[in-house]
Copies of this chain bind each other. A is one copy, B any other.
Amino acid sequence: MTAHSTATPDLKHLAQETREAARQLAILTTDKRNQALEAIAQALETAAPDILAANAEDCRVAEVEGLAKPLYGRLKLNESKLQGVITGVRDLVRLPDPVGEVQIHRELDTDLVMKRITCPLGVLGVIFESRPDALVQIATLAIKSGNGVILKGGREAVRSCEALTRAIHTALEQVGISPAVVRLLTTREETLALLQLEHEVDLIIPRGSNVFVRFVQQNTTIPVLGHADGICHLYVDEAADVQKAIALTLDAKTSYPSACNTIETLLVHEAIALTLLPQLAEVLQTHAVELRGDAPTQTLLAQHGMTIQQATEEDWKTEYSDLILSIKQVTAMEAAIAHINTYGSRHTDAIVTENDQTALDFMNRVDAAGVFHNCSTRFADGFRYGFGAEVGISTQKMPPRGPVGLEGLVTYKYWVAGDGAISASYTGPNARPFTHSDLK
């Protein structure tokens, strides 16, 4: 599938060790896995001075090398940020175990019972940039869900990542779990090799820019959990409450412009445009939002003394990740839905309307992981949905999609137990019937 060289034998061997260690981890009790998490929290507390020193050195080098400011911000750890990470580990202990859940329990016939039970996926491959706190978050999510994990951090965070991994390994050894469960890679070449370990790695989780996620998706046959784009829309219906529309637009655009659940395009029913847009444009400009509009919007705002740039076809396809908003007027909800289903990235799209029937129709017909009514797209988030821990957000259509909690890190097995049952008894002229009755 890819043109790259095959995985180096060394990495393959290391990954096989992680797979074997993960198999041991998978059969531990919930208590034992939680005990490992608590040991990790303690080890991180003990190692805090070493971790912060390693991070300080990473930051010093980053400054010398002129690392971009947002990356530097994500790289930098301090005592309170580290304490937040440790609290996160302890929060994870309290979450329900995603492993061992009985999803189906069915009698197929007398003395023939089927159960569908959740189990770990196996080995996760996680590639992230800068943020050393992501290492701890992902490693502990993996352990909670009974999976091994091969982590590849950014080069700029190598000392921090190594210090964090040392603490995690110390904790795992203390509780009698093989440290091979959590493996850290540090070179760029290993990233490519990791993407080719289709027999050793069950799921790749890339955490980084859209371009990076797309690169990963295109260079591996291993399933990828991630989203490459977040082009979200807010549609203001003719029956919208104007004040709600203004508040929601402001929140969905400005509360965190680089987040994937931030809106890029505002669609406005023409019947409400004259009432809404002049007020809204004023509020947005106060918040330093650059507006781009289709011709009717340009004309309308010009009549109110506001000159805005023309929105082009390119704008409808762009995730600005910045304080820019494109605006388009539509003659009916039909056109708004068609626009969203054409240009959206199936992430999250919202409608503002006081008409519940219109809202229902919009939510039914928009093709996205999140369809929202009278609330901000910014709520599309695992923590806000109450999933406790977020593994990532997926814009693929097959489940798991949208914000993914621990359930994204488990799969299931069918357990069938009989007393010598053979299939031949259920075929032919004297075939036994199945009873197929669900048990509880």
Question: A interface vs B, CB < 8 Å?
Answer: 1, 23, 26-27, 106, 108, 112, 114, 121-122, 202-203, 217-218, 221, 223, 241, 243-244, 247-248, 250-252, 255-256, 341, 359, 363-365, 367-376, 378-380, 384-386, 396-399, 401-403, 411-424, 426-427, 434, 436
By a CB distance below 8 angstroms, the chain B residues around A255 are 422-424, 427
- Which among B108, B418, B423 is the interface contact of A385 at CB below 8 angstroms? B108
- Which among B379, B417, B426 is the interface contact of A421 at CB below 8 angstroms? B379
By a CB distance below 8 angstroms, the chain B residues around A401 are 411-412
By a CB distance below 8 angstroms, the chain B residues around A375 are 112, 416-422
Say yes or no: A413-B376 contact (C-beta < 8 A), given A241-B420, A384-B426.
no
Copies in the complex: 2
Do A417 and B374 touch across chains, with their CB atoms under 8 A apart?
Answer: yes
- Which among B341, B415, B423 is the interface contact of A363 at CB below 8 angstroms? B415
Do B251 and A423 touch across chains, with their CB atoms under 8 A apart?
Answer: yes
CB distance from A165 to the nearest CB of B (A): 26
Do B370 and A413 touch across chains, with their CB atoms under 8 A apart?
Answer: yes
Do B412 and A376 touch across chains, with their CB atoms under 8 A apart?
Answer: no
- Which among B241, B364, B379, B427 is the interface contact of A416 at CB below 8 angstroms? B379
CB distance from A231 to the nearest CB of B (A): 14
- Which among B112, B399, B413, B424 is the interface contact of A369 at CB below 8 angstroms? B413
Question: Could you pull out 10 A-B pairs where Cβ atoms are within 8 angstroms?
Answer: A26-B364, A108-B384, A108-B385, A121-B398, A202-B398, A223-B398, A369-B413, A378-B422, A378-B423, A403-B414
